[in-house]
A and B are shown apart, each in its own frame.
Chain A
Amino acid sequence: MKRIVLSSLLLLCLAATAGAQGGNTLLLNAAGATFPYPIYSKWFDVYHTQHPNIQINYQSIGSGGGIRQLQAGTVDFGASDGPMSDDQLAQSKFKILHFPTVLGAVVPTYNVPGVSGDLNFTQKALAGIYLGTITKWNDPEIANANKGMSLPNSDIVVVHRSDGSGTSYIFTDFLSKVSDDWKNKVGKGTSVNWPVGLGGKGNEGVTGLVKQTPGSIGYVELIYALSNNIPYGNVQNAAGKFLKADLAGVTAAAAGAAKDMPDDFRVSITNAPGATSYPISSFTWLLIPAQISDAGKRDAIKGFVKWMLAEGQSYNEGLSYAKLPKPVVAKEMKAISLIQ
């Protein structure tokens, strides 16, 4: 007991001295998306060591929470895996700018007894499976894209995320683009009314269910699949090619979409054109108020965004995030001046 008291006193002293040293430290608060959290914390950490007077505190509470806290003014900037909708922007009391930071992708993972190689999934197959219209593994829509594989005549157990997540947003955004049925009946969002399937909590929950359930299919973030060595399948892109997701394919999708990039950067790059574009890819964004009255904070945020677009991008691939394509970086550099 004595030891506990002593060590907590020690901790308090440490905290107090740290606080005293940081007298001139500018503290920025941010909150939002969980998907880019590993790279964000790396960036904020490196940026702090390079600029000791600026400390950014990021809470990965989810994109929805990030948007809400930004609108309520409790954080200096937010982060989101899906762009804010027109409604949300209209409801906001102040103007909010979007800045893409990194790219992510979603991959299908499955557990089919007797199948060891990578399965090819057509766009129709994925939509049909998740709509509940394709229910057997040997359905022609799947079998025709996987000639030479012996697919069992067993039921498909569909697994999706149960918690609201950017991963589900990207996946349902893709399904909405490739299937009118999906668009009209289900739609895209961080949580949707899934026509079929079991819900797993988090990437680990989905992976756990898929691993344990023979005949199941789920979807997880590319980063999660790569860092945990989870096998995943190929997805047909807009050009009709079957691609296995990798960082280059994701960047290619972003480059394919960059030509038509709107000035506010709110763009979906799922099913992007280009033979090498992986179709279930997405940007993730920082949400920054266009008007920041505190000059110190404004300069700090602008400085960070500039650094993130240049040096920051070099940390991406170490953590399995795809880099932003050059044209997007150039466009964002120009947009920094919009923060006033």
Chain B
Amino acid sequence: MEHAAPPEAGPRSFVARLRDGDQVAHIITLVFAASILLITSMLVYELWVNSHLSRAKFGLMFFWTRVWDPIFDNFGAAPFIYGTLVTSVVALAIAVPLGLAAAVFLAELAPRRLSDGIAFLIDLLAAVPSVIYGLLGIFVVVPLMRTVVGPVLIDTLGHVPVIGVLFKGPNYGVGFLTAGIVLAIMVVPFIISVSREVLLTVPREQREAALGLGATRWEATWKVVVPWARTGIMGSVFLALARALGETMAVTMVIGNDPKISASLFAPGYTIAAVIANEFTEATGDLYLSALIELGLVLFLITFILNGLARLLIMATERGGGHPS
């Protein structure tokens, strides 16, 4: 923006430009933008340095080892990586269709006043502390899972070939599925709120053109408006995924905290964020602490990879012919 000065003024002194505010704004915003980079790299650096002991001892085996034994100093991340991914996938499998459908209704079909009112409530939901969702999970979702939902799923889907293994085994009420459901409740406001905003920004001409060509309201919405907004919608999904991956409190309250890899969604499991929160304060051994920090590094890596994949996905779909934003 510093080149925007009127040409007749000629080259101006640094002080003059400072007084103008342009340069100041430039520097301040640059510093703030750079601080993001700095914080991220410091985070990675700290995690990397402090996980040295564990990396040196376990190497890549850390990713495969299924044991987490603080007493005999044997640590592996596999059950935690598995739990983190499974709960997040379950959460998204529930939250994306739900959130997207709600967003389409609010943006396209509902009267504006109703839509704004509900959007306000949804933003409120997004601000509820996670421990509240955890309590909701313990007192409502867990008993419901144990007495109603679980037995029904075991009796029905449990007998279906292939996916049946997901719905077998003892049902304690806590486990991957319960954690996924609680996470879905937590992330759905993000998807609805952001997707609705994005859908509302789709130009009216797009709809009118589709309707003018003879499309029904539903066709105009589903084939024109939603594809136009899909970059933003995917953005909302990845925001939701990020929250699901890193969620600690609500998950640890309903997942059962048992570091095992089980095919059944009813089995108890563990996530990376939950084990760090549970064990960090009481971790005494150096290797133990180092392994917990390495788990943090692994979580960072997972988030990094998934974010990268998300970018690729968005780029690929845009090449396939979306709007040119």
Contacts and interface: CB of A to CB of B under 8 A. Distances in A.
A164 interface: yes
Interface string A151-190: 0000101000011110000000000000000000011111
A162 B255 CA distance: 11
Nearest to A34: B281
Contacts of A191: 70, 278-279, 282-283
A198 B282 contact: no
B71 A188 contact: yes
B81 to A, nearest CB: 17
Interface string B51-71: 000000000000000011111
Contacts of A190: 70, 282, 284
B283 A199 contact: no
B69 A193 contact: yes
Contacts of A209: 174
A197 B258 contact: yes
B257 A165 contact: no
Q: How large is the interface on B (under 10, 10 to 19, 20 to 34, 35 or more residues)?
A: 20 to 34
A133 interface: no
Interface string B165-208: 00000101110000000000000000000000000000000000
Interface in A275-308: none
A17 to B, nearest CB: 33
Nearest to A80: B284
B268 A64 contact: no
Given A192-B71, A198-B268, A64 B282 contact: yes
B71 A189 contact: yes
Contacts of A189: 70-71
Interface stretch (A18-26, A200-208, A311-319): A200-208
A68 interface: yes
Contact of A198 (B69, B256, B274, B284): B256
Contacts of A65: 281-282
Given A187-B71, A191-B279, A68 B284 contact: yes
Contact of B257 (A62, A63, A67, A198): A198
Contacts of A212: 138, 142-143, 146, 173
A200 B257 contact: yes
A67 B71 CA distance: 17
Interface in A257-290: none
A61 interface: yes
B70 A213 contact: no
B231 interface: no
B252 interface: yes
Contact of B67 (A68, A188, A193): A193
A232 interface: no
B138 A88 contact: no
A321 interface: no
18 contacts: A64-B283, A68-B284, A88-B284, A155-B170, A162-B252, A162-B257, A163-B278, A191-B70, A191-B282, A191-B283, A194-B258, A198-B172, A199-B256, A199-B258, A199-B268, A212-B173, A213-B146, A213-B172
B114 to A, nearest CB: 30
B72 interface: yes
B91 interface: no
Interface in B133-147: 138, 142-143, 146
Interface of B: 67-72, 138, 142-143, 146, 170, 172-174, 252-253, 256-258, 268, 270, 274, 277-284
B71 A208 contact: no
A170 to B, nearest CB: 13
Contacts of A194: 258
Nearest to B134: A201
Given A64-B281, A191-B279, A191-B283, 11 more contacts: A64-B282, A67-B284, A163-B278, A189-B70, A190-B284, A191-B282, A198-B172, A199-B257, A212-B138, A213-B146, A213-B172
Nearest to B139: A208
A193 B68 contact: yes
Nearest to A172: B71
Contacts of A198: 172, 174, 256-258, 268
A198 to B, nearest CB: 4
Contacts of B142: 212
A244 B252 CA distance: 31
A200 B252 CA distance: 8
A194 B275 CA distance: 14
B235 to A, nearest CB: 33
Contacts of A200: 257
Nearest to A196: B258
Contacts of A188: 71
Contact of B282 (A164, A186, A205, A208): A164
Contact of B138 (A187, A192, A208): A208
Contacts of B280: 164
A213 B173 CA distance: 8
A85 B71 CA distance: 12
A64 B284 contact: yes
Nearest to A67: B284
Contacts of B274: 162
A260 B253 CA distance: 42
Among A67, A88, A213, find the residue whose CB has the most chain B CB atoms closer than 10 A: A213
B44 to A, nearest CB: 23
Contacts of A192: 69-71
B141 to A, nearest CB: 11
A296 to B, nearest CB: 30
Contacts of B277: 163
A186 B284 CA distance: 17
Nearest to A68: B284
A63 B284 CA distance: 9
A209 B268 CA distance: 13
